[in-house]
Homo-oligomer: A and B are copies of this chain.
Amino acid sequence: MGEQKLFIPKGYRKTKQRESILKVLERAEYPITAEHIFMELKNDGIDISLSTIYRNLEMLTKEGLTVKSYMMNEDKARYALPDKKNYLVCEKCGKIVIIDNCPFDKFKEELIEVHGFDITGHSIEVYGICPECQKK
């Protein structure tokens, strides 16, 4: 029972495009755009259509393998594996730092009690100034 490797959800076919998209998302350190995936794959010498990327990201998000989010002052969506969905963004340099051990989990119960919702997921975006930018 090792780490759960990336997999293609039941009912979908295994294609080199699909697998390469997942590979890029796996090595990404924070949420990235469809265009970013496209260029990354071009570097790897993998030819793929942007629409294929969008279609796969939609599927992966529907199946819960990826999470879609938008960042301040950007007009394009970003996608990431679920463990990279909560992050800090520096308002000066744009640096993105993943928040692991999401503190929000501790409040799930409180939220359930107060609002009666059955909570299935969440997304947090925190803005600030990173240590480097604070010095400047």
Contacts and interface: CB of A to CB of B under 8 A. Distances in A.
A103 interface: yes
The oligomer's copy count stands at 2
Given A70-B70, A103-B104, A117-B88, A126 B97 contact: no
Interface stretch (A16-24, A38-46, A107-115): A107-115
Contacts of A117: 88, 90, 97, 126, 128-131
If over half of A's interface residues share one DSSP class (helix, strand or loop), that class is named, otherwise mixed; here it is: strand
Interface residues of A, number: 32
Interface in A39-97: 68-70, 72, 88, 90-91, 97
Interface of A: 68-70, 72, 88, 90-91, 97, 99, 103-104, 107, 110-111, 115-131, 134
